[in-house]
Amino acid sequence: QPYRHEYDTEAETNGNADTETDTETGSDAAAISVDEPTGGLTAGLDPVLQETSGTWIAWGDGDADFDVTDARDCVGVPPDEECYTLRRIDLSDDAVDSYYRGFSNRVLWPLCHGFAELVEERADDFEWYRTVNATFADAVAEHASSESVVWLQDYHFALAPRMIRESIPSSATVAQFWHIPWPSPATFEYCPDGEQVLEGLLGNDLLGFHVKRYADAFLDCVRRYLPDAAVDRDRRTVRYEGHTTRVVATPMGVDADSYDQRARTADADQLHSLFERYDIPQNVTLGLGVDRLDYTKGIPERLTALERFFEENPSWRGEFTFVQKATPSRTEIPAYARHGDLVRSEVDRINRRFGTDDWQPIVYTEDILPADDLCALYRHADLLIVSSLCDGMNLVAQEYVAASVDGDGTLLLSDRTGAHERLGENAISINPTAVDEFADRIEDALTLSPRDRTRRMDALRTTTFENDIDAWMETQFEWLSQVHDGQRTAPNS
């Protein structure tokens, strides 16, 4: 289905939907302005919800003036046409601190990415996590009927599935997609209240991960930490307390057409002004990194490899510039603040070491770029580096491929990302912690023959377009309907 936008008010962009009173007519009818996010899950879900008239329950933005009990706003199309309900749940500052910046991002995030040493257990965080999960579960229960399909997104809702399962009709389907990796049993041992996390997730009828490795690790953890659960590795099911959960691997794709289109419309002027804004010499070979400023993304390792590369390849000094776009994220969490300081000081040090009056090896920005600018950079970057130490999937790698409309970019991709299982064969694989090898791979990427470069990018583009966000949504809904219908055979296999 096309992504339909037929708003009768001014549309602004950034992901929030706001209501305003229509002063002209004096009516109380809400005039709706909707911010359109780029690609991704939101763009994938929007048309589905428009078609099904479902309800989207989401964390509010803090100044939404509706609460858990009365938030029903029609979003998407004019009120007399089919639309869906957006229900916002406003959270207090304490709730956000403990639930979001606490158990979600000081415990589950580091743990699932294998950073057990960064897990921080603070008093009350888990209780707040439970309270917020219960609030969302209650909201779901208000909307769910015997035929409902409930689809939860991500690690912020590990307890909600079991709560929902207990409060809605048993014929409804509860499913969840976990966007980040799942750790080994040895790492999961450090999860405070880990048993409750597993029990919560087993309230799902369907639990999806990006790749089989994570799904297997989840089954291993259930087997180890919930001895009463019956794990069937072949059928990928868990039977626990009379309920069956099917665990599947469905790697996510991107809205490839949209990145392709935006990149095609990026003209020379747009690129020229970006180069001017960031002081990039016009004729350099361009490398690019686009990440949240997160310790899982391997940015310091990337900088070290670039330093080694410039050390060993002095002829590239002045000829190759690496643009690192890093979006600050979760900055109130000390591990993130420390990591941000490290990245910034490494950039300064490397630039002082090799930079000249008219060239810097690393151009570093924390600006959030409009999607069109991002696509212009993707299109014109000669190489993109994804060097995550651990990454559920990584959408940036796929966006870069979709936006490489001239077919001449090269992707360097960490073998520790979910995306590597899809793109690894035609990317240049890197081990982010092996500095010398990593530096050699940068040199390889810069010296690939045009023929090899094009062959690799053609193959990457085919894979990325065949496995785009629409294909992912389709697979999700095939699984959901199979589980809903009580069938037990895999789609497409």
Would you tell me which residues interact with ligand GDG (CB under 6 A)? 38, 40, 179-180, 252, 290, 292, 325, 327, 368-369, 371, 374, 391-396, 399
Residue whose CB is less far from ligand GDG, 300 or 392: 392
Least separation, in Å, of the C-beta of 76 and ligand GDG?
21
Residue whose CB is less far from ligand GDG, 116 or 369: 369
CA distances from 301 to 45, 223, 274, 325, 435 (A): 35, 35, 26, 15, 7
Least separation, in Å, of the C-beta of 304 and ligand GDG?
21
3-state secondary structure of 176: strand
Residue whose CB is less far from ligand GDG, 143 or 292: 292
CA distances from 5 to 2, 19, 41, 140, 256 (A): 9, 17, 17, 26, 19
3-state secondary structure of 325: strand
Residue whose CB is less far from ligand GDG, 308 or 422: 422
Residue whose CB is less far from ligand GDG, 125 or 391: 391
Residue whose CB is less far from ligand GDG, 148 or 475: 475
**Inter-residue contact 380 to 337 (CB < 8 Å):** no
Phi-psi map region of 47: left, alpha, beta (phi>0 left; psi -120 to 50 alpha): alpha
CA terminus-to-terminus distance, the chain: 25
Residue whose CB is less far from ligand GDG, 99 or 177: 177
CA distances from 171 to 148, 153, 236, 302, 485 (A): 8, 21, 21, 49, 9
Residue whose CB is less far from ligand GDG, 325 or 484: 325
Least separation, in Å, of the C-beta of 40 and ligand GDG?
6
Least separation, in Å, of the C-beta of 112 and ligand GDG?
9
Q: Which residues pair with 173 in a beta bridge?
A: 149
Least separation, in Å, of the C-beta of 372 and ligand GDG?
9
Q: Return the axis-axis angle of helices 212-225 and 194-201, rounded to nearest 10°.
A: 120
Task: Name the CA radius of gyration of the chain, rounded.
Answer: 23
Closest CA to 403 of 251, 210, 255, 252: 255
Q: Which residues pair with 313 in a beta bridge?
A: none
Residue whose CB is less far from ligand GDG, 95 or 386: 386
Least separation, in Å, of the C-beta of 464 and ligand GDG?
13
Q: Return the axis-axis angle of helices 371-380 and 395-403, rounded to nearest 10°.
A: 70
Q: Beta strand pairing status for 285-292 and 84-89?
A: unpaired
d(CA 368, CA 445): 27
Least separation, in Å, of the C-beta of 386 and ligand GDG?
8
Residue whose CB is less far from ligand GDG, 420 or 453: 420
Closest CA to 62 of 82, 90, 43: 90
Least separation, in Å, of the C-beta of 421 and ligand GDG?
12
Residue whose CB is less far from ligand GDG, 42 or 454: 42
Least separation, in Å, of the C-beta of 180 and ligand GDG?
5
- Edge-to-edge strand ranges of the sheet holding 55-59: 55-59, 84-89, 73-75
Q: Within its chain, how far is the Cα of 429 from the centroid?
A: 21
Mention every residue, 6+ apart, whose C-beta is less than 8 A from residue 129: 98, 99, 102, 103, 104, 158, 159
Least separation, in Å, of the C-beta of 368 and ligand GDG?
4
Least separation, in Å, of the C-beta of 259 and ligand GDG?
9
Q: Within its chain, how far is the Cα of 290 from the centroid?
A: 13
